Amino acid sequence: MDKDYDLITIGAGSGGVAASRRAAAHGAKVLVIEGDRVGGTCVIRGCVPKKLMMYAAGFSQAFEEARGYGWRDAGGRFEMSDWAAAKAAEIDRLEGIYRNLLSGSGVERRAGWARLKGPGEVEVNGEVLRAPRILLATGGRPAADAFPGLELAMTSNEVLDLTTVPESLLVIGGGFIAVEFASILAGLGARVTLAFRDVLPLRGFDADLRRRLADALAARGVAIASGAGFASLRKVASGFEVERLDGSVLAAAAVLNATGRRPNTAGLGLDRAGVATDRFGAVVVDHDSRSTVPGIWAIGDLTNRRNLTPVAIAEGRAFADTEFGASPARVDHRVVAAAVFTDPPIGTVGLTESQAVELGPVDVYESEFRPMKTAFVGGQQRSYMKLIADGLSGRVLGVHMLGPDAPEIVQSLSVALTCGASKRDFDRTIAVHPTAAEEFVLMREPSRRLPAREPGRAA
């Protein structure tokens, strides 16, 4: 079979762009197909515009703090339409950069919605293109089928295009997206209610972080409605009403659906090509991102491994290095740092306390305090830091923080965990003073020592 390309990538998000550019750098002839804007969820409708909105929300507290530091007439009125226009211009600029990165790397790009046609074949705009390697990098999309009427709500896509701040907002969900936008919109002046089924937000995170985040959101002015599922969402004259399974009703002028995301497989032709998916609809892959069909790979949120932009980028580059370069590579998904951009934010890497005690005895070190910046003006916000070490070897297994600059601090400490640092390595590191980060190297005595959990014993 004559080949048109060495690689066809479907999806021009962060992972697809990274893989395509790396493959081209190794000398491959590469085509990227994208039916939407170049840059994907992270750049166009996710991480980047969300953080720009977070920065906007942060000024409300900054103005309050400024007055405590002697500034007079600090403050102003937030105009979301101005922010929206500036955000749109910035996203246009970033998309242009991504387009230039592709063309500058020698990667060809076509606009259109691609689907798998057969072995080594992709159809787009009625044309069949061929390559011995096909990479699927179409990411994820918001799910809207958790209960009847949920399709009426905004998703993370639409909330980033708001031009006015809703008077009241009901956020449905307890994960990353839910808590971030609840915190952000509260900072912009909306009356926010965060509703979720579990007792605490951020399922899967360390329990101490979850409890403190719930307290921090409440201090931010977010009303927490936890512990009950949802029956239906309906539109009413005043906005929306959500009926919960306990019979209670929550009302707001606007509703944000943040119940989760699904792998974006619609129209890809996975069934026709024989590509296996799991019960969540994610493409099943091995450690090298190979699907169940020879010649087809998948990376990023489409595979539902670690749904984070840097992971998708790493997976894409590892694929390209393995298939086209001289140095095969694999991504280690076990130690991956993550951030939650609430106010205050969260940074976390490694095992939670409950995960660690499943493996053996652990020592837990903690520090909690009011940050100097806000304490000076009478603020009650608190920072919390937690370090989990193996009770036998002393190796640091997890680092968790809620507080200002937590993502930046934990990003640096994730290098230490990746290198296998021990508690003794932290102890012999000289602190930088005065900083919040120094607390991680000043924790001398464990707050508690825990034996290994017996198999089958509840946390």
Structural domains in the chain, sorted by start: 7-142+262-324 (3.50.50.60), 150-259 (3.50.50.60), 344-450 (3.30.390.30)
Burial 422-437 (b: 16+ CB within 10 A, else e): ebeebeeeeeeeeebb
pLDDT digits (tens, 9 = 90+) for 212-248: 999 999 999 999 999 999 999 999 999 999 999 999 9
The answer on pLDDT for 20 being more than 80 is yes
Tell me what the mean pLDDT of segment 68-82 comes to.
93
Q: Which helix (H) or strand (E) holds 59?
A: helix 47-68
Q: How confident is the model at residue 456 (pLDDT cuts 50, 70, 90)?
A: low
pLDDT digits (tens, 9 = 90+) for 263-293: 999 999 999 999 999 999 999 999 999 999 9
The answer on pLDDT for 410 being more than 60 is yes
Tell me what the mean pLDDT of segment 31-52 comes to.
97
Under DSSP, the state recorded for 358 is T
Tell me what the mean pLDDT of segment 58-86 comes to.
94
pLDDT digits (tens, 9 = 90+) for 360-394: 999 999 999 999 999 999 999 999 999 999 999 99
Sheet order of strands, 30-34 included: 108-111, 30-34, 7-10, 133-136, 296-298
The answer on pLDDT for 170 being more than 50 is yes
Specify the pTM: 0.95
Tell me what the mean pLDDT of segment 337-358 comes to.
97
Task: Specify whether 400 is catalytic.
Answer: no
The answer on pLDDT for 27 being more than 70 is yes
Write down the pLDDT at residue 394.
98
Q: Is 179 annotated as a binding residue?
A: yes
Q: Is 174 annotated as a binding residue?
A: yes
Q: How confident is the model at residue 1 (pLDDT cuts 50, 70, 90)?
A: very low
Please tell me the distance from the alpha carbon of residue 283 to that of residue 270, in angstroms, as a whole number.
9
The answer on pLDDT for 2 being more than 70 is no
Q: How confident is the model at residue 436 (pLDDT cuts 50, 70, 90)?
A: very high
Please tell me the distance from the alpha carbon of residue 355 to that of residue 359, in angstroms, as a whole number.
7
Q: 26, 333, 400, 433: which is the annotated catalytic residue? A: 433
pLDDT digits (tens, 9 = 90+) for 293-315: 999 999 999 999 999 999 999 99
Q: Is 295 annotated as a binding residue?
A: no
* Cα-based distances in Å from 55 to 51, 217, 289, 342: 6, 17, 35, 11
Q: Is 391 annotated as a binding residue?
A: no
The answer on pLDDT for 458 being more than 60 is no
